[in-house]
Structure 1
Amino acid sequence: MRSRHRRITAAALAAVAVLGLPACSTVLGEQESLADATSLTVGVKTDQPGLGLEDENGDITGFDVDVALYIADRLGVSAEDVEFTGVTSANREQKLIEGDVDMVVATYSITPARKTQVTFGGPYYVAKQDVLVRAEDSGIRGVHDLEGLRVCQGEGSNSAARITEGLGISVRKTEAPSYSACIEDLREGRVDAVSTDNLILAGFLAEDPSSFHLVDEPFTDEKYGVGLPRGDIRGCEAVNDAISRMYQSGRAGELLDTWFGEAELKLVKSVPQFEGCV
């Protein structure tokens, strides 16, 4: 599913969504689906340790990368035919809609609003939102202690809204281009806390355990979905089959241990409850 195929897919599936036709219907004479891919371009984060991090050689590694490679293999696409490209929380939907990527595996929490723009496979993991603070800030022991404090979120994220709107806790929200930028703001004292998924925070904590402290009082479920062009139901079902196999075979547990085994987290290694391909 390189450039021409991706462009047709995005346009065709958009037409399917508008017309209300089944996603596997023939559009413009072609049946377009991720399930038929012979190559893939996958959007991943490139600045999140343990999930998707690009090194000085341009290689991207992490849990999300390995999950994408596993799914690709189950779809019959070899690792050599998978191209990874960086995405951010702010541009994931647009990358799929415009056909720049075939699939997004990038700590992409499934939400009702996002479901109106893309189709989600999975979730492939259910993380928990938590709070990261500076090591010396022992007074912050839970999300309610953030009242009135400066809390950073990455652009395009919903994490602060889950605190203010979801829990009714008034915080001074700041926004940075990415969570790596939020971590730098926390390090330099420009914000008091960073709140997002515990896997993301654990990755940054592992990079610099002497500077930060994970509060470890989770307060939401964050369902990491595999983003697909809207309307690709057959592709979504194929992705879900792959995720099920990944957990049932024990591979998901191995990957979680590889990337987060040293973190003080309760890693969930059972098959997540799928959202359904709609």
Structure 2
Amino acid sequence: MKVSQAGAVAAMIGLALTASGCGGDDGKGDLSIGIKFDQPGVGMREPDGTFTGFDVDVANYVAKTLGYKPDHITFKQVRSSDRELLLQYNEVQFVAASYSINDKRKEKVDFAGPYFLAHQDLMVRADDTSITKAEDLNSKRLCSVTGSTSAENVRKTLAPKASLLELGGYSECVVALQDHLVDAMTTDNSILAGYTARKGNEGKFRLLGLSLSNENYGIGMKKGSTELQGKINAAIQKMVADGSWEAAVKKNFGADYKYEPAPAAVASGS
């Protein structure tokens, strides 16, 4: 598996503008896929350079179904705030990165899926009993990730008076929570579950078990990619039907994770 990281957004755009024709969805050449590098259980680049997580398994299954061999797949790091840019400037052919489908995003990109349903939750330090519900955050310090639907949901609906710290990645929020710089962290329960179960984090954090939103994960691609969208939807449906989807859920989130049944892959860009 070849490894590549997307650099600063400005540099990325400059490269894209000088390298026209990069990428494509015709199934020829190499395939670049955007994933998260810092989400245990979802999308993680391990110290040895390998990639693990549910999104990684989904991306590999889709790529194989599209006809790509492992040595023709390049994983590129994406953050929540730059997923649309990576697609628009052909840095990646598709993004599988805990990418929740919503109407605002569908104005900029097309989606295949959904392939997973998560719920927004809160993670606190294991010994902190002062937060039991979302409203408690109004007097607390909360960390989320820039560009995520979780941050927007907190700001607009759940706890508008919370002191919200937005960082570039979820791992940074975990460090801030551990170091008492914030009182809680919020994102999808799938991502939070990965962090609580991560080696070295055992007993440090806990989830409150709230369902603060429904997050339908989709695979994002450049606007107008109708043919690719159809092929990826078919691959997702095949993954569910042959049991690979459920096996990937159990492998990455653990036997105790209460997951929703696989949603029907029906998303579109319109």
TM-score range normalised by the length of the shorter chain: 0.7 to 0.9
Equivalent in 35, 38, 42 of residue 51 of structure 1? 42
My pick for the range that moved more, 157-166 or 83-92, is: 157-166
Moved runs in structure 1, 4+ residues, more than 6 A?
Answer: none
Aligned residue identity for 1:90: S
Q: In the aligned structure 1, how far is the partner of 2:145 from the partner of 2:268?
A: 27
Aligned residue identity for 2:48: N
Equivalent in 33, 41, 57 of residue 42 of structure 1? 33
What whole-Å deviation, never above 9, does each CA across 1:63-109 have from its counterpart, x for those lacking one?
11110010111111122211111111121111111111111111111
Aligned residue identity for 1:8: G
2:54 maps to what in 1? 63
Report SS of the residue matched to 1:89: coil
Q: Does residue 274 in structure 1 map to residue 266 in structure 2?
A: yes
Report SS of the residue matched to 1:147: helix
Q: In the aligned structure 1, how far is the partner of 2:183 from the partner of 2:42?
A: 24
Taking a change above 3 Å as real, the CA distance of residues 119 and 198 of structure 1, as seen in their structure-2 partners, is same
Aligned residue identity for 1:211: K
Equivalent in 161, 164, 169 of residue 178 of structure 1? 169
My pick for the range that moved more, 214-223 or 138-147, is: 138-147
Q: CA deviation at 1:269?
A: 3.3
- Give the alignment of 1:1-278 within 5 angstroms: 7-8=20-21, 34=25, 36-167=27-158, 169-207=160-198, 208-262=201-255, 264-272=256-264, 274-278=266-270
Q: In the aligned structure 2, how far is the partner of 1:122 from the partner of 1:129?
A: 19
* TM-score, reference length from structure 1: 0.84
Q: CA deviation at 1:135?
A: 0.4
Aligned residue identity for 2:121: D
Q: In the aligned structure 1, how far is the partner of 2:22 from the partner of 2:77?
A: 20
Q: CA deviation at 1:147?
A: 2.2
My pick for the range that moved more, 126-135 or 73-82, is: 73-82
Report SS of the residue matched to 2:113: strand
Q: In the aligned structure 1, how far is the partner of 2:159 from the partner of 2:206?
A: 24
Contact 2:22 2:90 in 1 (8 A): yes
Q: Which runs of 5+ in 1 are unaligned?
A: 11-32
Q: Which runs of 5+ in 2 are unaligned?
A: 1-15
Q: CA deviation at 1:50?
A: 0.9
2:13 maps to what in 1? none
The two structures, once aligned, show a CA RMSD in angstroms of 2.1
Aligned residues: 252
Identity %: 35
Contact 2:55 2:97 in 1 (8 A): yes
Q: In the aligned structure 2, how far is the partner of 1:88 from the partner of 1:97?
A: 15
